[in-house]
Every structure is written in C-alpha cells, then in structure tokens.
Amino acid sequence: MNTHISLLGCGLMGAPMARRLLAAGYPLTVWNRTRFKAEALAEAGARVADTPAEAVARADIVITMLEHGGVVQTVLFDGPDAAVHGLRAGTLVIDMSSILPEQAQAHATRLAEADATALDAPVSGGTLGAEAGTLAIMAGGDEAAFARARPVLEAMGRPVHVGPAGSGQLAKLTNQMIVGITIGAVAEALLLAERGGADPAKVREALRGGFADSRILEVHGQRMVEGDFAKRGSMAIQLKDLNNALHAGAQLGFEGPITRLLATLYQQGVDHGLAELDQSALFKELQARQHTGEA
C-alpha cells in the first residue's frame, strides 16, 4: 500500500494496533518515548524514529495513541522535536487517545493552522480488541477526512463517524461511563451472590443470555470470579475517563450523579493501591468495603 502511516505511542494499545496496520500492508514508522517499546515492532516491519518530528516526516496519516490530553499536546506541539514541525502539508492526524472533547477541538484548530487535518477517533475494546482488530472506533471531525481515514481505521476495527471535532471524544466518554458503571454493577452483584452463599462463577454463568448479560459480565465478570486483575486497562485510566466525563458534563451544564458515585469508588480503589490493576479490580475495592464495614 502507498499510504505511509506514522504511529506515535506504542504502549498496551498502540503496539497491537501497529501490528494490525503492518499486517494490513501499510508502511509504518513508529515512535515511543520509551524507545524499546517501539523497537519491539521493528521485527514486524516497522521503521523506528528517534523523535515525533522525524516519525511523521514521510507520513500521509499520523496516528497518536497516548496516555492523556497533556501528553498528546506535548508530542504534537511542544518543543523542537514535536510532530508539528515534521508534518507535510495535507497530512491527516488521527488522535486515537482518550482525551477531553475541548482538547480535541483545540488540537484540531492548531493542526489546521499547520495545514494538516485532524480526526479525534478514540477506541473501545481494550487490548483484546486491539489484537483482534475489532475495536469500536468513534470518529469526530470532517466527513471527508473520515472517508480518507476509513480504510486505515478498518484495519483496526469498526469506525463510525459521530459528528464534528470533539464528538469522537464525547462518544468515548459515554462509552467509559457505561463501562465504569457496569463494572461496578457486576462486581456488587457477584459480591452479593457470594455473601449469600451462591457460587459467583455459577451466578455469572446463569445470567448469560438474559437481560443482565453484557460484554462486561462476560469479560470483566470472568476476571472477578477468577481473581485475575492483571493490567489490561487500569483503575487509574478508568478513573481518568470518568473524571473527564464529569468535566465535559459540567461544561455542558449536565449532571451525572451515577458517574460521580462510581468515580468516587474508583478513586478510593486507586487510593488503596489498586491504580495499576485492571479496572475489574473495583471488585477488590468493593470486597474490602464489605470486610471493613464501610458498605
């Protein structure tokens, strides 16, 4: 394929996404702040760059998959090695990180000033979806830019254009609200079953196929009953996303009381040392509350 892609950020999500792009035949240059993570992709055919500016110099499309909005701003715009200094005119920049809608809008404006086009296109599906190429991709920006990006995005999942700049990030926040709240519901329900003497694993199995069934019950519920809280997503990132949803809601004059309650519970889990565990470890926080009588 002739479309050259640059991917900035080769972490838990970025690395499997890069592998999907390479498998689809796209020439790919990668950069990561911790270089060894980018170098791990070299054997799959990626070219490794030393700086963001160098990474994007020959790219038609740039993809960012970074920790939060502040990091995205730094990588794109701040300092002599920032990506903006290497962009060619007409480059399409797709930010697939999870950031605030207002940050996505501000980045789109700054990229337009650099004669580049922006899409905000965050994802859902976690590392499993990234590896399988089945990510849900929510894109905000110009429709023509989305049409240009679509073949590339389809190598990683199922893209849907949801509105103008910032709308992709708003859709991701709604996703994270549902995920974070539902993890709490599943954890609390399984703990109730356990308290009453039922087998949580069997309760989960019994609920499958009914109205309570969900991807969260399937995946995170399984992690809860197995006590497998190894990091795929994380409590810290889930908390960040819920706080971002609350912030966006406040900007719009919208109150989210259920989201606020769950953000408080995730915050307590983070405060109790669970920050780098999978977000299903909210189960551990709620379990500890039962034992200490805080419930």
Q: What are the tens digits of pLDDT across the range 181-218?
A: 999 999 999 999 999 999 999 999 999 999 999 999 99
CB atoms within 10 A of CB 230: 10
In the chain, the percentage of residues whose pLDDT exceeds 70 is 99
Name every residue whose Cβ is closer than 8 Å to that of residue 128 and which is 6 or more positions away in sequence: 219, 232
- The CATH class for the domain spanning 5-163 reads alpha beta
Tell me the pairing of strands 135-141 and 47-48: unpaired
The predicted pLDDT at position 294 comes to 63
If pLDDT is split at 50, 70 and 90, which confidence band does 18 have? very high
Is 172 one of the annotated active-site residues of the chain? yes
Q: What pLDDT is attached to residue 1?
A: 62
CA dist 24 → 5, 18, 59, 84 (Å): 12, 10, 16, 27
Q: How confident is the model at residue 140 (pLDDT cuts 50, 70, 90)?
A: very high
CB 208 within 8 A of CB 218: yes
- Candidates 37, 172, 240, 284; catalytic one: 172
Domain spans, the chain: 5-163, 170-292
**Position 52: which residue type?**
P
DSSP string for 173-218: HHHHHHHHHHHHHHHHHHHHHHHTT--HHHHHHHHTTSTT--HHHH
Distance between CA atoms of residues 27 and 19, nearest Å: 11
Q: What are phi and psi of 56, to 5 degrees?
A: -95, -5
User: CA-based Rg of the chain, rounded to a whole angstrom?
Assistant: 20
Return the CATH fold of 170-292. Answer: N-(1-d-carboxylethyl)-l-norvaline Dehydrogenase; domain 2 (1.10.1040)
**Residue pLDDT, tens place only, 254-287:** 999 999 999 999 999 999 999 999 999 999 999 9
